[in-house]
Amino acid sequence: MRRYFDGAATVDVDQMLDAWTDDLVYEEAFSDPPRRIEGKDALRPYFSKAGEVFRMSLEITAVHECVDPDELVLEYVSNGEVLTTGRTYANTYIGVYRFRDGRIWQVKEFHNPLITERARSPE
């Protein structure tokens, strides 16, 4: 997890994706419309484009272990800015992470899309 979050902070997409399985599934349940991306080849351009808009760090605030040893629920926050508007970006997230062979296999992430939209919109 640390390698993935550190890669997000430096916009190192290769480092971010190194933590994932090739057949990954990434979901943002509260996006408009909800987003589901399957496979590293599909997630790479999404992370790259996000890196052109956002500069932020992600900090884990709570870890909730699950009955399934390959599942973890994380609470985390982002702190940074939207490069296109210069606005501060700070959001709160809950992520349900599933692992296979020590790598991230599936993520379902929940965050407030209104905070994201406000930070990205011109005044």
What is the distance between the alpha carbons of residues 44 and 38, in angstroms, rounded to a whole number?
10
- Contact by Cβ (8 Å): 106, 39: no
What is the model's pLDDT at position 91? 96
- DSSP secondary structure code for residue 32 in this structure: S
What is the model's pLDDT at position 90? 95
What is the model's pLDDT at position 1? 86
From first to last of its 123 residues, the chain has per-residue pLDDT tens of: 888 999 899 889 999 999 999 999 999 999 888 999 999 999 999 999 988 888 999 999 999 999 999 999 999 999 999 999 999 999 999 999 999 999 999 999 999 999 988 988 887
Give the number of other Cβ atoms within 10 Å of residue 66's Cβ.
12
Give the number of other Cβ atoms within 10 Å of residue 86's Cβ.
8
